[in-house]
Chains A and B, each alone.
Chain A
Amino acid sequence: MYRKLALLLLVLVLTVPMFAGCQKETEAIKIGLEGPMTGDYAYEGQGFEKAVGLLVEQTNEAGGIMGRQVELVIEDDAGDPTQAALVAQRLVDAGVVAVIGAYNSTATEPASEIYNEAGLLHITPSSTATRLTEKGFERFFRVCFLDDRQGLFAATFAKDVLGVQNFGILHDNSTYAQGLAEHTKRYAEEMGMNVAFYDAINPDDQDFSPILTNIGAAGLDAVYFTGYHAQGGLLLKQTGELGLDIEWMMGNACNNPELVQIGGLENAVGTYITTEPLPKDVEYPEAQQFVSDFQEKYDMMPDSVWWMMAAEAFNVIRYAMEQTESTDSEVLADFLHNEAKDINGITGPILGWDEKGDRLGTIHLAYIIDENGDLVVYPEQP
C-alpha cells in the first residue's frame, strides 16, 4: 500500500517539471540572452543587452509575437567557458524557447552543447570559430560569418591590396583567434605568400615587448593580429614605444573604439581592420532605422558590429516565429534551414543558412584607422 503511494508520488514529482517546461499560450515568450556582461568583453555583452533590449521593447509595444509578450532572460557568462556552461543550464531551467549568445567562441562552445541537449534554437551573434557548426547540432545557427570567410578576405586583402610578400600572423590561443589565424595562414600560403612568422601571445599578459622585438626584426611586410581589442591596443602602444615600424592588420575582434583608446591615437593611426561593415556603413533601410532608434534610446551610436548582430539574431527568431506561428525550436530550426531566404536583415540581406547553420554569403570590408581615430572604409577593396 505504502509502496504504491510512494510510486504514485514519485511519478507525480517526475512529471510536474515536464509540464512546467511547456509555456502556456498566453504567457510571455521567454528568450534567453547569454553574453559577457562583465569581464574582458563586457563592452560587447552590455551592448548585446542594449541592442536586443531595444528590439524586445519595440516588439512588445507593437503587440508582441503572435499576440504574446516577449520576456528577455539575461545571463552573464563573463566570456568564460566554465561560467558559460553554468548559465546555459540556468537558461534551460528558466524555460526559454530560444537563446541568443554567446559573444566569444570559447564560451559559445560549451553552452551550445547544453542548448543542443535541451533541444533549443540557439543563434550566436558573434562566435565565428568554424568548428562550432561542425558538430551536427541541428538547432544551432549563426548570423555572423565564419572565420574561414574572414581568413580568405584578410589574405586576399594583404596580397592584392597591400602587396604583402612576407606575412606575419599572431593569435592569442583563444578558440576564435586561433581558428582565424589558421584559416588566414592556409589561404595566404595557397596564394603564394610566405608566412614567415606565426605565433601566439598569452592574453593575460600586459607586456608584449619581447615578442614585438622579434616581430620588428623579422622583416615582415604586414602582421595580422587575430585576437581581441584589449591586447590589440597594447600591441599598438608597445610597438610605438619600442620605436618599431610594423604594418598592423587586425581582425574583427579589434573592431572596437577601445582599441584606439588603449593603443593611443598616434600608435593606432594607419592600422588596417578586416571586419563586417560598421552600422554607419550599412546602407539598407532596416539598418538605418535600427541605428537611429538606438541613438534615440541610448544617446549613443551602436558602435560595435556585434551589437547589430545580436539584434539581428533576435530579428531572425522573431521572423521565424511569426512565419511559422510556432515557438517550437524544431519547427523554427527547420524553417531557418529550408525556407528562410532573402530576409531584410539589420546587417544586410540574409540569403539563408546552409545545412550546418552557417549564414550564406559574406559582407566583410577592410577599414583603416584615420588621424581622428575613426574607422573609415579603405578606398581599395579586394
Chain B
Amino acid sequence: MQFLQQMINGITIGAFYSLVALGYTMVYGVLKLINFAHGDLFMWGAYIGLTGLNVVLAVLAQASPLAVLPAIIAVMVTVALVGVVVERVAYRPLRSAGRLAPVISALGVAFILQSLARNIYGASYKTYPAGVALAGGTTLGGARISVMQIVVLGVSFILMAALYLFVQRTRIGTAMRAVSLDHDTSKLMGIDVNRIIAIVFIIGPGLGGVAGMIVALYYGSFDFTLGWVFGLKAFIAAIMGGIGNIPGAMLGGMILGIIETLGSGYLSPQWKDVIAYVILILILIFRPTGLLGERVAEKV
C-alpha cells in the first residue's frame, strides 16, 4: 500500500520533469544547444498564469476551475512569444560562434528572466487564487490519488503524445527531424532552417510555460527560483533519457521522479539526490548517449 502510494507520488513528480525536459531536448535536437533559459521560461509560465487567472477571475467575478482554460492559452502564447524573441536576440546571432558562446548567452538569459520575475512580481511566495485547482480525490487500493494528480498525468501524456505525433507525422515535424540531422543539407533540400528553429522555439517554451502553470496549480505556491530546481532536474532527465530524443525525455523524467521518490520514501530525503545521481552516472557509463540515445536514429 505504501509502495503504491510512493509510486503515485513519484509518477506525478516524474510527469513534471518530463514536461520540462521536452523543451531541453527539442532545442538540443535542432541546435545542439543546451537552453539553460528553459527552466526560467517554465517559471514565467507560473507567473503569467497567475496574472491570467487574476484577470479571468475578475471578469468572471467568481472562482471556478474553468478560469484555468483561458489563462493556460494566454500562458502558452506569451511564453512562446518570449521564447521566439530569446532565440532571435540571444541565440541566432551566435549560431556560428562555436558551442560555448550560445551556452553562456543562455545562462545570461536565465539570469535576466529570473531577475525580471523577482523585480516585477516581488520576491515573496506567490499563491494561486483559491478555487481554481480541482479539489477532491479517491482511494485506490489503499493509496490516495487526487483529482489534480489525475489531471496532471492526463494533460502531460496528451501533450507528450501530441508532440510525438506532430514530430513524426507532419511535414513540419519531418523538416524538424531533417534540420536536426544537418542544417546545410536541409537548406539544400529547400527547408527554411530559420523558420523551423523558430517553430521549435514556439513549441518548446510554449509547453514549458504550460508546465509551469500546471506545477503552480498543483503545488499552489512558488517563487522566482521555481525554474532553477525544476530546470536542473529536467535537464538531467533529458540527458538520462538521451538528449535530443523526445520519448527519451519522457522516460528520463519518469525514472528520475520515481527514483527520487523511492529514495526519499525508503531512505531519507537527505539521501535521495545521492541515489538519483549515482544511478545517472551508472546509466551514462554504460550508455553514454542516454537510455534511448542510440536506438532511435532520428533526433529532434
Contact = CB atoms under 8 A, between A and B. Distances in A.
Contact of B144 (A204, A234, A243, A261): A243
Interface stretch (A17-25, A106-114, A211-219): A211-219
Interface string B120-151: 00111101001000000101000010101000
Given A38-B118, A199-B269, A262 B144 contact: no
Interface in A168-206: 173, 199-202, 204-206
Contacts of A242: 5, 144
B127 to A, nearest CB: 5
Given A43-B124, A206-B215, A264 B220 contact: yes
A93 B209 CA distance: 44
A201 B139 CA distance: 26
B170 interface: no
Contact of A211 (B123, B265, B273): B265
Given A202-B269, A205-B229, A258-B125, A210 B6 contact: yes
A37 B119 CA distance: 12
B220 A262 contact: yes
Nearest to A242: B144
Nearest to A265: B130
B18 interface: no
A343 B130 CA distance: 45
Interface string A208-240: 111101100100000000000010011001000
A39 B123 contact: yes
A200 B268 contact: yes
B268 A42 contact: no
Contact of A210 (B222, B226, B230, B261): B261
B2 interface: yes
A374 interface: no
B264 interface: yes
A27 interface: no
A43 B221 CA distance: 15
Give the size range of A's interface with the partner.
Answer: 20 to 34
Interface stretch (B8-16, B66-74, B86-94, B188-196): B8-16
B9 A213 contact: yes
B270 interface: yes
Contacts, number: 91
A202 B139 CA distance: 28
Contacts of B230: 206
Contacts of A37: 123
Contacts of A234: 219-221
Contacts of A42: 122-124
Contacts of A380: none
A24 B229 CA distance: 49
B125 A262 contact: yes
A243 B127 contact: no
A202 B221 contact: no
Interface in A26-53: 37-40, 42-43
A199 B268 contact: yes
A222 B190 CA distance: 68
Interface string B202-235: 0000000000000100011111011001100000
Interface residues of B, number: 39
A210 B125 contact: no
A208 B10 CA distance: 11
A38 B230 CA distance: 21
Interface string A241-264: 111000000000000001001101
A213 B6 contact: yes
Nearest to B136: A241
Contacts of B12: 207, 209
B221 A262 contact: yes
Contacts of B130: 264
B43 to A, nearest CB: 12
Contacts of A43: 124
Residue with the highest number of chain B CB atoms closer than 10 Å, among A207, A242, A264: A207
Contacts of B137: 241, 243
A326 to B, nearest CB: 38
Interface string B171-201: 0000000000000000000000000000000
A242 B10 CA distance: 13
A91 B73 CA distance: 48
Interface string B230-249: 10000000000000000000
Nearest to A209: B9
Contacts of A205: 229, 269
A202 B261 CA distance: 13
A38 B121 CA distance: 12
Contacts of B2: 213-214, 217
A173 to B, nearest CB: 7
A185 B268 CA distance: 18
A17 B225 CA distance: 40
Contacts of A217: 2
B88 to A, nearest CB: 30
B226 to A, nearest CB: 8
A254 to B, nearest CB: 13
Interface of A: 37-40, 42-43, 173, 199-202, 204-211, 213-214, 217, 230, 233-234, 237, 241-243, 258, 261-262, 264
28 contacts: A42-B124, A173-B270, A199-B268, A200-B268, A205-B229, A205-B269, A206-B229, A206-B230, A208-B269, A209-B9, A209-B12, A210-B9, A210-B260, A210-B262, A210-B264, A211-B265, A211-B269, A213-B2, A214-B265, A234-B221, A241-B146, A241-B148, A242-B144, A243-B137, A258-B125, A261-B221, A262-B220, A262-B221
Given A258-B124, A264-B220, 14 more contacts: A40-B225, A42-B123, A202-B273, A206-B219, A206-B229, A209-B12, A209-B261, A210-B6, A210-B269, A211-B265, A213-B6, A213-B9, A234-B221, A241-B146
Q: What are the 3 A-B residue pairs with the smallest beta carbon separation, nearest first?
A: A42-B123, A210-B265, A209-B9
